[in-house]
Amino acid sequence: MSGEGVVRAASVPAPEPAAASVPVPALRRAHVDLGAIAGNVAHVASLVSPAAVMMVVKANGYGHGAEQAARAGLAAGATWLGVADVDEALALRAAGIEAPILAWLHGSDPSFEQAVSQDVTLGISTARQLSRAADAGTPARPARVHLKVDTGLGRNGLQRADWETVFRAAREAEVAGLMVVEGLFSHLSNADESEDRAQLAAFGEAEALARSLGLEPSIRHLASTAGALRLPQTRLDLVRLGIGSYGLSPFDDADSAALGLRPAMRVESRLISVKRVTAGTGVSYGYTYHAPRDSWLGLVPLGYADGIPRHVSNRGSVWVGGSVHPIVGRVAMDQFVVDLGSLQASVGDRVVLFGDRMDGEPSADDWAEAAATINYEIVTRLGRRVERVYG
């Protein structure tokens, strides 16, 4: 069965496609504005100073391209890079990036030799990980670690009952020359200000215990974008700037513009079919939409295989021909339909799925609301068929 949306066309012909001499643009493209990324990093760096900035480029730079985003952020003042796992860190090293990199998500029995040899700093959340890091270190090249404590988020990080045991073991590894405990960190829940302040207090307890046992972490970090912007006490020595690097807001009550940020990604496509239908025509699988009037329908060649949430069916919108038009019918694997109303668009016309509200386009926030999710997911889920273009 074809993945195309089902559309019953009337006899009115569609507009002619563009002349063959005009080059046809890519069907699926994400334009990434590296200047916007640099501007966002510089803006937040100025707000949080004297705390330093770690730019988080995990998950392929939140879908924007890890290497390209990292270079833009470092040029704008970030002094660290953050990734989820060692493989992501090693990919940056292979690309020639020499800045400090922290990787903090590991398997149950990790091997850290390659990470240590490539000067990747390890986030340590368990006694087993600490032991493996010590195994990988030597007096000539000790493992550099940041100990992560769970202060209330309930994800990875040392549980309070294990703090003393692991801190003692870390100090022993330091004395043996196998490890340098460079940092201590945690992650806020961002549930509300009182919860974040409670976590800050717990972090202070962990730091005091670590120092009483002989550890001297010089880099303390707790805040991601949300904490860095709204709770200055959590900035400490370093903030981890994730979603804010890419110009998106972590808050429900403030958009990018309100925070002085500029979205760095604009996802575009082209209409590959335009047809006139009569009132009552059903659209796409299951006929969840019927045209309420005679209308022009446009077909866009992206679908859930490209990371377009199926949940935006009959809820999301795109920009075509200077105005916003609704996505109608169910999003399919490779395509979705837009009700253009009276707009007589042409095959090849530009479509903006999401970009910057300041330009009159739907935003990642708008798409997140339509899909009942968050803007983080909208940008990170884009698939391999969506070409990234940098400027």
- Residue 254: CB partners within 8 Å, gap ≥ 6? none
For 331, list phi and psi in degrees, rounded to 5: -65, 130
In angstroms and rounded to an integer, the radius of gyration of the C-alpha atoms of the chain is 25
C-beta of residue 139 within 8 angstroms of C-beta of residue 177: yes
- Residue 38: CB partners within 8 Å, gap ≥ 6? 72, 73, 75, 76
Residue 167 CB coordination number (10 Å): 24
For 377, list phi and psi in degrees, rounded to 5: -70, -35
289 is catalytic: no
**Per-residue b or e along 119-153, where b marks 16 or more CB atoms closer than 10 Å to that residue's CB:** ebbbbbbbeebbebbbebbeeeebbbbbbbbbbbe
Given the residues 58, 246, 275, 289, select the one marked as catalytic. 58
- Residue 319: CB partners within 8 Å, gap ≥ 6? 325, 351, 352, 355, 360, 361, 362
- Residue 317: beta bridge partners? 326
- Residue 350: beta bridge partners? 270
58 is catalytic: yes
Angle subtended by helix axes 163-175 and 127-136, to nearest 10: 10
Given the residues 62, 148, 246, 285, select the one marked as catalytic. 285
Q: Give burial (CB, 10 Å; 0-12/13-18/19+) of 377.
A: middle
**Per-residue b or e along 328-366, where b marks 16 or more CB atoms closer than 10 Å to that residue's CB:** bbbbbebbbbbbbbebebebbbebbbbbbbeeebbbbbb
Active centre residues (catalytic): 58, 285
